[in-house]
Amino acid sequence: MTAIARLLLLLVIFQSSAFAFEEIHLQLDSLETTFFNTKNIVLSLEPQQSSQPGLSLQISNIHSPYIKQNFDASFDCVDLIYTVERINCGQGVLKIVYAEQEQIEIDFTFWINILDKSGQLTLATTLKNGNVIADFQLDADSNWQADIDASGLELAFISTVLELFKEYSIIDGKASLKAHMGGSEDKFENISLDANFTQLGIEGESVLDSVDIHTQMDMKMVDDNWSFITTLSLLAGEMYIQPGLNIMGEEPGFYIEVPAESIDFRLAGNWRPDMNMIELQDLYYSHPAVMQLQGSVRLALAEEISYSDLTLHAVIEDLGSSYPTYVQPILMQTNFSDLELSGAIDLSLDYEGTELNQIELFVDDLFLEDVESRFGLYGLNSHLALHSESEAVQSTLRWDGMSFYRLDFGPGNILFESMGKDVSVLEWRDVSILDGGLIIEEFALRNLASSDFELELGGTLTPISMEALTQALGWTIFPGKLSGEISGLKYTKNNLSLEGDIAFKLFGGQLNIQELQVDNLFSAYSVLTTDIKIDELDLEQLTDVFTFGKIEGSLNGRMDKLRLENWQPSYFEMEFSTPEKDDKPHRISQKALENLNELGGGLSGTLSQGFLRFLPAYSYGRLGLGCRLSRGVCELSGVEDDGDSFSILTKGGMFPPWVEVKGAGRSIKWNDLIDGLNQIIEGEVAIE
Partner 1 sequence: MQALKKYPVITSLLLLTACVTINVYFPAAAAESAADKIIEEVYGEDASLNENTDSSTIDDQSAISQPDAGIFVSFLQSIIPAAHAQQPDINISSPGISKLKSLMKQHHQKLDPYYDNGAIGMESNGLITVRDSKVIPLKERNIVKKLVADENRDRSQLYKEIATANGHPEWEKDIRKTFARRWIANAPGGWWFKDASGKWQIK
Kindly list the residues in this chain that would bind partner 1 in the complex (CB under 8 A): 203, 207, 209, 238-240, 250, 253, 255, 257, 324, 328-329, 332-333, 337-338, 523-525, 527, 564-566, 568-570, 631-632
**Peptide bond before 657: cis, by omega within 30 degrees of 0?**
yes
For residues 108 and 89, give the distance between their C-alpha atoms in angstroms, rounded to a whole number: 8
Least distance from C-beta 123 to partner 1, angstroms?
38
| CB-nearer residue toward partner 1: 426 or 524 | 524
Least distance from C-beta 318 to partner 1, angstroms?
19
**491 and 467 in contact (C-beta within 8 Å)?**
no
| CB-nearer residue toward partner 1: 525 or 611 | 525
| CB-nearer residue toward partner 1: 20 or 371 | 371
| CB-nearer residue toward partner 1: 170 or 402 | 170
DSSP readout, 623-679? BEEEEEEETTEEEEEESEE-SS-EEEE-S--SSSPB--EEE--SEEEHHHHHHHHHH
**Parallel, antiparallel, or unpaired for β 187-203 and 661-663?**
unpaired
| CB-nearer residue toward partner 1: 240 or 491 | 240
Q: Which candidate, 117, 137, 234, places its Cα nearest to that of 181? A: 137
Q: What one-letter code names the amino acid at 157? A: F
**47 and 22 in contact (C-beta within 8 Å)?**
yes
| CB-nearer residue toward partner 1: 183 or 201 | 201
Residue 611, φ and ψ in degrees, nearest 5: -70, -25
Give the DSSP H or E segment for 174: strand 169-184
For residues 74 and 95, give the distance between their C-alpha atoms in angstroms, rounded to a whole number: 5
Least distance from C-beta 58 to partner 1, angstroms?
43
| CB-nearer residue toward partner 1: 257 or 365 | 257
Query: SS3 of 320, please?
Result: helix
Crossing angle for the helix pair 590-598 and 670-681, nearest 10 degrees? 150
Give per-residue burial for 591-605: e unless 16+ CB within 10 Å, then b: bbbbbbbbbbebbeb
| CB-nearer residue toward partner 1: 167 or 583 | 167
Least distance from C-beta 324 to partner 1, angstroms?
8
**Peptide bond before 411: cis, by omega within 30 degrees of 0?**
no
Query: SS3 of 324, please?
Result: helix
| CB-nearer residue toward partner 1: 206 or 348 | 206
Q: What one-letter code names the amino acid at 231? A: T
Residues 6+ apart with CB under 8 A from 370: 335, 336, 338, 339, 376, 522
Q: What one-letter code names the amino acid at 464? A: I
| CB-nearer residue toward partner 1: 276 or 333 | 333
